[in-house]
């Protein structure tokens, strides 16, 4: 049997011991500092008996036992195993280094607390550690700026001011025209520019290097003029193609148990094709550039929803592997990162507080 330590292992000190963590599989162990040595004995494929034989001063059976433990805990991989194939795929396709990979894979498929539990945790924390102030106030010498909304010619400002994320929605269908405008405003291609290296798409939102890493997959649930199902949106053609795959899951099962998503009329999943960006940018910052672009796209979609008196609630609490399975995303570098749910907003129970009220409280 040949084994090796994958390149996806990092170590951290913890309470006098060492935490060894494989970020690709999320396997981890805690051990004595000296035990980490064994991971240095097989940087390449190595027979277990070769490792045993190079340590004649140690009891062979004890060496085999240590190596077996490291195999069982995912710190060593076995040649030909599923884990070895996963590592091989990672090494061939991941181009922006271990720092971005550590964040990406650690943040994938995490468990999230139910909404009620999360609220209770926040209430308890607030009793001993109040929330930080969520805005910064200038001194009295600051300059007053002209009003940015309220006039007819400032319709864009008024639209942005009306935008709200309302998770409580009516059981009404949205129209195909509304869905169409949401998709086009966020991802639509408006033209191309030819450079020395390639022809780049121009979009409704900025894209790092014009690399256009995002595709949209749509779960149509209640949309007038189109049958329910899973679709792919082509930004170039501005078309929806129904996928062969179907799902008997509910939206909440793809979005970390968030039950409010089950009432929405449609869900837009933003999936990043990381290779499009890393073809040009092969550094860790490329990952940040891709994440930022999701915000650009989502904001356009949300404003378009507001213009149609709809609500678009965004969430990053996703079941990434399940979404990838449902939409047949078979590449390690095609990543569902963000989702927007569309619907007709219902009256919310949240209490609205005028900004002037808060200002008066600060000066009281």
Domain boundary among 74, 93, 112: 93
For residue 5, give both structure tokens: 């330590």
pLDDT of residue 174: 98
182 located within any domain: yes
Query: How do residues 234-254 score in pLDDT, each as one tens digit?
Result: 999 999 999 987 788 999 999
Give me the domain span that covers residue 204. Answer: 160-345
The helix or strand, by DSSP H or E, that contains position 30, with its residue range, turns out to be strand 27-31
Of residues 184, 119, 167, the one with CA closest to residue 313:
167
Same-domain check for residues 72 and 172: no
Instruction: Please tell me what DSSP assigns to residue 59.
Output: -
Same-domain check for residues 200 and 280: yes
Domain boundary among 93, 117, 138: 93
Q: Tell me how many domains the chain contains.
A: 2
Contact (Cβ atoms closer than 8 angstroms) between residue 5 and residue 75: yes
120 located within any domain: no
Same-domain check for residues 169 and 290: yes
DSSP-H helix ranges across the chain: 48-53, 60-72, 82-93, 97-106, 115-128, 155-162, 176-187, 251-254, 274-278, 285-307, 320-326, 355-363
pLDDT of residue 119: 85
Residue indicated by tokens 């780049």: 200
Rounded average pLDDT over 146-158: 80
Contact (Cβ atoms closer than 8 angstroms) between residue 345 and residue 166: yes
- As a residue count, the chain comes to 364
Domain boundary among 50, 75, 93: 93
Same-domain check for residues 308 and 193: yes
Same-domain check for residues 166 and 56: no
70 located within any domain: yes
Same-domain check for residues 165 and 257: yes
- Residues 6 or more apart whose CB falls under 8 angstroms from that of 121 comprise 113
Q: What φ, ψ does residue 36 adopt, rounded to 5°?
A: -65, -20
Interhelix angle 285-307/155-162, nearest 10 degrees: 100
CATH code: domain of residue 16: 3.90.930
pLDDT of residue 117: 86
Rounded average pLDDT over 212-233: 97
Same-domain check for residues 165 and 89: no
101 located within any domain: no
With cut-offs at 50, 70 and 90, classify the pLDDT of residue 118: confident
Same-domain check for residues 70 and 171: no
Q: What φ, ψ does residue 139 adopt, rounded to 5°?
A: -80, 175
pLDDT of residue 331: 93
What share of the chain in percent tops pLDDT 70?
99
Rounded average pLDDT over 7-20: 95
354 located within any domain: no
Same-domain check for residues 164 and 89: no
Query: How do residues 251-286 score in pLDDT, each as one tens digit?
Result: 999 999 999 999 999 999 999 999 999 999 999 999
102 located within any domain: no
23 located within any domain: yes
Residue 335's DSSP bridge partners are 272
Rounded average pLDDT over 192-221: 96
pLDDT of residue 28: 96
Q: How far is CA 271 from CA 104, 232, 276, 283, 339, in A?
A: 14, 11, 12, 20, 9
Rounded average pLDDT over 301-315: 97
224 located within any domain: yes
Instruction: Please tell me what DSSP assigns to residue 226.
Output: S
Same-domain check for residues 34 and 179: no
Query: How do residues 61-82 score in pLDDT, each as one tens digit?
Result: 999 999 999 999 999 999 999 9
CATH code: domain of residue 270: 3.40.109.10
Same-domain check for residues 290 and 191: yes
Instruction: Please tell me what DSSP assigns to residue 75.
Output: S
Residue 230's DSSP bridge partners are 219
pLDDT of residue 349: 74
Same-domain check for residues 164 and 63: no
pLDDT of residue 355: 86
């Amino acid at each position: 049997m040949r084994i090796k330590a994958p390149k996806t292992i990092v170590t951290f000190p913890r309470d006098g011991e060492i935490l060894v963590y494989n970020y690709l599989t999320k396997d981890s162990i805690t051990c004595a500092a000296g035990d980490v040595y064994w991971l240095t004995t097989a940087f390449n494929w190595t027979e277990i008996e070769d490792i045993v034989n190079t340590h004649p001063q140690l009891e062979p059976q004890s060496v085999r036992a240590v190596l077996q433990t490291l195999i069982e805990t995912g710190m060593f991989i076995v040649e030909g195993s599923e884990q070895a194939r996963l590592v091989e795929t990672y090494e061939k396709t991941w181009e922006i280094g271990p720092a971005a990979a550590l964040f990406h894979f650690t943040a994938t498929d995490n468990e999230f607390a139910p909404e009620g539990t999360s609220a209770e945790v926040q209430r308890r924390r607030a009793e001993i550690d109040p929330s930080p102030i969520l805005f910064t106030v200038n001194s009295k010498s600051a300059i007053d700026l002209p009003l940015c909304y309220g006039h007819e010619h400032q319709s864009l400002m008024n639209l942005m001011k009306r935008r709200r994320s309302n998770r409580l929605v009516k059981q009404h269908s949205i129209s195909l025209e509304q869905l169409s405008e949401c998709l086009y405003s966020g991802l639509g291609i408006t033209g191309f520019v030819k450079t020395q290296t390639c022809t780049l798409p121009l979009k409704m939102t900025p894209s790092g290097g014009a690399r256009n890493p995002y595709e949209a997959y749509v779960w149509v649930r209640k949309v007038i003029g189109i049958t329910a199902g899973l679709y792919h949106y082509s930004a170039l053609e501005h078309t929806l193609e129904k996928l062969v795959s179907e799902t008997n899951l509910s939206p909440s099962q793809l979005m970390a148990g968030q039950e409010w998503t089950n009432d929405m009329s449609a869900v837009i999943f933003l999936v990043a094709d990381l290779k499009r960006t890393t073809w040009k940018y092969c550094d860790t910052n490329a990952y940040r550039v891709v994440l930022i672009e999701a915000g650009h796209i989502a904001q356009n979609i949300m404003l378009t929803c507001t213009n149609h008196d709809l609500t678009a609630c965004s969430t990053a609490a996703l079941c990434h592997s399940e979404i990838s399975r449902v939409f047949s995303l078979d590449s390690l570098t095609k990543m569902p990162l963000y989702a927007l749910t569309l619907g007709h907003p219902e009256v919310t129970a949240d209490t609205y507080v005028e900004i002037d009220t808060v200002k008066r409280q600060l000066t009281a």
